[in-house]
Amino acid sequence: MSVAFTFPGQGSQAVGMGRDLAETFPEARAVFEEVDEALGQKLSAVMFDGPEETLTLTANAQPALMAVSIAVMRVLEARGLSLAGKVACVAGHSLGEYSALCAAGSFSLADTARLLRIRGNAMQSAVPVGEGAMAAIIGLEQADVEAVCDEASKGGTCQIANDNGGGQLVISGSRPAVEVAARLATEKGAKRALMLSVSAPFHSALMGPAAEAMRDALSGVAVKAPVVPVIANVRAAPVGNPQEIVDLLVEQVTGQVRWRETVEWFARNDVTTLYEIGSGKVLTGLARRIDKSLTGFAVNTPTDIDSALATLLG
């Protein structure tokens, strides 16, 4: 029986995130200060005090979520937790994969912050606002959603962006095609087909320009082998080779986040406990829906950290 750490993606941000960590732990304050310096912006002030519309901007939300995750990691490590000694593997949802790689030592904190700022800006600018869309399809089998996307693709790009598990698949692409797919999904028997309030069609072929931007950005940073395996989003399998890590991060921009399969990989490989490191508890909830044999804990407050340390080091 073993432990995995998971790292949340966009949507888990909230005004006030990280403030109690900064007030309680000098290691957390140091993380936020380093991220602020790397970005040349007082991002921590936006995280702690808002406004929400500024925090929600993709270029802010991505490095902000990473910062909270790494702040928690640095506190855990300062109190005796060794990732390589206690954790079998790590994984992150979309941008959370960068947090996982930073936690596992593949990227420096400053490089991770800058990469996520570039990623957020590139994803936002890849498609003019309003031309792309995403929709959550609830209660329809993956094969049926794939068929719906194939049919809708006659009118533009439409593909599965996230397989989140628990009967939830997110589709992404050009707005007319996604709207058609949502209607077809309802006709096929989906419980819900909900258009999402997002600023761009993430994880679709329309993100091609952003993928190239990330290829360029990643070519300019040092990448080390992670101290524990990282389960890559687009492969739902472990990766450790630095060049492979880079290639899969580029592929991830336009590819599918295979989160259901990632959690299933955990369960197949003797992982029994998941700790969600960072803001919110979205991944903890998804894990329970995907495989009830897994135990999940969200770790984002000083109390959560104390509880996690008592279990992991006790």
Q: Which residues are catalytic?
A: 94, 203
Q: How far is it, in rounded angstroms, from Cα 67 to Cα 70?
A: 5
CB atoms within 10 A of CB 151: 15
- Give the SS3 label for residue 309: helix
Residue 4 gets which letter from DSSP?
A: E
Q: End-to-end CA distance of the chain, in Å?
A: 16
Where b means 16+ CB within 10 Å and e means fewer, 223-252 reads beebbbbbbbbbbbebbeeeeebbbbbbbb
Identity of the amino acid at 44? S
CB atoms within 10 A of CB 137: 27
Alpha carbon 235 to its chain's center: 14
Angle between helices 58-78 and 26-39 (to 10 degrees): 150
Alpha carbon 226 to its chain's center: 17
Identity of the amino acid at 142? Q
169: which 2 tokens? 């698949």
Q: How far is it, in rounded angstroms, from Cα 117 to Cα 111?
A: 10
Main-chain dihedrals φ then ψ at residue 81, nearest 5 degrees? -85, 125
In sequence order, the β-bridge partners of residue 268 are none
